Structure 1
């Protein structure tokens, strides 16, 4: 099949959505599919992902979004000017990745071409609006998200979600289109090759110092203060523990001030964004535990990456994270409580044998989320949706012909 993916965000904008698109694209291409991506242009940058193929990217001139400097929206006029070229590309299916301009253009193009269209529902927007728009009454903001989500899901032929929890949320919204749970896969061999000793040496960290690692966006919805509130309890029992945070985002200045205020500067290190191809996998290899406090993840790709690296995980089993943490393999669950999180971390840091067992379990569990396996599941869903829409079209034509007779 030849597939067009449409998105409002992609590399160099680092995000879970961008990583998901790249993972599925790579897996689908290995299966023989052709994948093109429609995306915003980012300040004339020439490379967007490690394995870019210039022929596979439709870069559309874009404008910056006020208050969100990292984001871009494609310009409508530029999109219209490329519609004829995209119409001539002989696509078999459109896969929408984000709910903004990319969504509406993707639906219009698919209907114009009379081909199936599916969307991926990556983000639990209902939780996000509580953090970013607190002045709007809660019932109003959540109701608006639910209505918009339901309308967008009903405007396509199928929906992909990364976790069972997200599927149940959409069903609760009243979505009755086909919904399939297909998590984003991970290139397992990549994260098994980290150079932990070199990473520690680069950052001046001794080989014996215990490291807790968080990786992800530094944003309000990630519940990162839970880590800082748990850290003093950990330090009481293990004074040399270091908490490293890989990532960046709007909450970083506030959290850096919180670290200073709590006197934790010697025990916390903000690493900023780490390049995924090398530096991030080295950080996984250097750490002793991966800690993940977020309660708003629809999947939590970093959890699978950490498991693939053989890094035991301690996290709060909420929403999509519960799919992994609830299995209890290579992981330990903690309540949304500083003392409970701290006790789980200390117990594992003190027990090397237990950590080694969890590391082996982690690699076994991660194998179930391999990139190729998830891409195969998505390919099967494409085929099912294409068959379903073709059958509906045939029934519609037959009914029309019967009425004419």
Structure 2
């Protein structure tokens, strides 16, 4: 075990004693971070290859984002939606334009945004499509991860996320991910939406078969069903494009965004769609005290400005190609069973002979690299998009050494 010093041990023991055990963090206590590097309470540095599950796409302490937040902190941080504030209209206008849509409904967390998308789709189904009251159905994919609210885990197939939380919310049908025929069979006259991750992150960075997203887009358009793309992890530069859907030239009816939209500074999420879709809401029918607050809008506006340069998308594409080429060599050496992903995002299935995903994560921690396991045998690699090629190669060298040993 790497952590043996009194300061780190005390902090971890206190966390274990006084916080609910709903996470199993690695035994490291972070105190500061910059760019792609984090420092613990003992002054040891670690290369961050997780980036807060894509919340830190633009790196720790990004100067532009920190300066935007500081400037807004000096002015006003919260008004609630009871009043207008001077950053709200600009945020909604700029985010809608980035997505090629015309209306935004801001929230805070990804799960809140998914809940908002579900409510939007149902209300659209009743008011616009004409589905009988109480009959609306949303089709989702197995192995999905959209959040952990009671409604969202009702359509999860992950036992850890779902067990012991019933009774569950009805109105969802689960089909195999990537199976267009199964999806087509599930869509009926009461279906209001298909909700999918363009790439399934928590499941191990699963990329659907080529043509799948385009097929979903054709099917939903033909059947008058909304296509909702959960781009909370895959969006905003991670895969080498602004949105992962762009890899198949697909524009969904609704984007669900979060994580990187707040730049790792504040939680910001949003549902973005046409006025026909989001226009179904009337005052009092949905809301959030903190959704669209001035501080969130100021940071998110700077995120949008950063994305408009295309620099980070290009960087993710170029470094991602290098990442996947190097990881592919590990498959040939027998240390890794499979590698999946796109851009600076990879799921790596560790060969059983080399240990579990947790084992590998802990051994990498000892070498100064931070990753996280999922589903037993898989580790996810998703560094901040600001990472240098030299640092990325150093991290990959540590992975090779761990798997060789």
TM-score by length of 2: 0.31
Which one has more relative contact order, counting CA pairs under 8 Å at least 6 apart? 2
Q: Whose helix proportion is higher, 1 or 2?
A: 1
TM-score by length of 1: 0.31
User: Greater Rg, structure 1 or structure 2?
Assistant: 1
